[in-house]
Amino acid sequence: MSEPPAGDLTVGVVQTPAGGIEPAAVLDLGRTLGRHDLLVFPEMANTPYFPLAGVDPRNRPGPRALPLEEVVDPFRTLAKRLSANLVAGVCFTDGRRVRNAAVVLDRDGRIVAGRGVTSGEYHAVYEKTHLCTVRGYGSTFVEDEHFEAGPELLTWDLDFGRIGVLVCYDRHFPGAWATLTANSADIVAVPTASPQGTEPTFAAEMQAMALQQSAVVAVANRHGREVLGDSDVTYLGQSMVIGPDGRIARIADAGPGTTATGAFAKTAIATTARAMGLRGAQRPDLYTYRPTS
């Protein structure tokens, strides 16, 4: 069993294959990975990424769009085997609609509810808040034809500290990052399904956000070619763990089924935040997303 590098906080990412990771493959990771404090899987890790132009909106992922408890079951087992907190991007059905969400599990495999930063209410899952409807950035995404946007950003209190989650397209909105770190999230997990064509800025954007927010960032992506109907997409990979100084701690090797783990001293996150001073220097009274003229 491979052990993560030295440090009192270990954060890992799993780079899943195109088409989605099978439950048996999730369980196999329990034999190859060592103990982690946090392990992150990509967006919609259990299914193909189907909200693309050329894929009929009625073409749901078939029997793999299961109820949440069934989808979570292999991840629950893995969390217990590794004694790891776990974030998994999942696609599931609630009987009314299919959801694009992230679920957080504790070391005993129990679902941890996230606290809404706006309402203070608790939610069993985080639903992606910014739906990707984009033409020409690597592929054509039509998530608005398949999903409803989630109501609010969430934070979770785990045994090592507080985390936030941004799913794929959510990562492009600096206000979302600032909201999570303003609510004391020191680690941000980013489950994503990012294709080739995004690589000129993929890592640089995540490094910039880690630096600006003085946060550890764990980006988990899928890798390889997916063909669905008229859609043919190759996913980038480049799953990585980034330190609060913006430097890449580990990046996964090319190919599906690879992992990357970064180790951090818990005190170093706070030390870096104080040294940079960026969180405390923000002036929210100056910022507005509403036109003033």
Report residue 160: phi and psi, to 5°: -110, -10
User: pLDDT value at position 13?
Assistant: 98
User: pLDDT value at position 16?
Assistant: 97
Distances (CA, A) of 259 to 67, 266, 272, 282: 27, 22, 25, 34
For residues 110 and 54, the answer to whether their CB atoms sit within 8 Å is no
Task: Give a yes or no: residue 42 inside a domain.
Answer: yes
Which pLDDT tens digits describe the chain residue by residue (293 residues)?
344 455 689 999 999 999 999 999 999 999 999 889 999 999 999 999 999 887 765 555 554 568 999 999 999 999 999 999 999 999 999 988 899 999 999 999 999 999 999 999 999 999 999 999 987 665 688 999 889 999 999 999 999 999 999 999 999 999 999 999 999 999 999 999 999 988 889 999 999 999 999 999 999 999 999 988 888 899 999 999 999 999 999 999 999 989 999 999 888 888 888 888 888 898 988 988 788 77
264: containing domain = 9-286
Taken in order 191, 197, 202, 203, is the CA torsion positive or negative?
positive
Task: Give a yes or no: residue 292 inside a domain.
Answer: no
User: pLDDT value at position 90?
Assistant: 97
User: pLDDT value at position 63?
Assistant: 44
CB atoms near residue 120 (< 10 Å):
8
Task: Give a yes or no: residue 147 inside a domain.
Answer: yes
Task: Give a yes or no: residue 95 inside a domain.
Answer: yes
Taken in order 131, 134, 138, 139, is the CA torsion positive or negative?
positive
Task: Give a yes or no: residue 237 inside a domain.
Answer: yes
Cite the DSSP H helix spans in 44-192: 68-82, 174-182
DSSP, res 64 = G
What is the C-alpha separation between 91 and 47, in angstroms, rounded?
Answer: 7
User: pLDDT value at position 35?
Assistant: 86
Task: Give a yes or no: residue 1 inside a domain.
Answer: no
Q: Could you tell me if residue 237 is left (phi over 0), alpha (psi between -120 and 50 degrees) or otherwise beta? A: left
User: What CATH number should be reported for the domain holding residue 116?
Assistant: 3.60.110.10
User: pLDDT value at position 134?
Assistant: 83
Q: Is the pTM of this model over 0.85?
A: yes
Quote the number of domains for the chain.
1
What is the C-alpha separation between 38 and 165, in angstroms, rounded?
Answer: 12
Nearest Cα to Cα of residue 29 among 90, 114, 88: 88
Task: Give a yes or no: residue 245 inside a domain.
Answer: yes
User: pLDDT value at position 130?
Assistant: 98
What is the C-alpha separation between 75 and 214, in angstroms, rounded?
Answer: 29
Nearest Cα to Cα of residue 19 among 234, 239, 190: 234
Task: Give a yes or no: residue 125 inside a domain.
Answer: yes
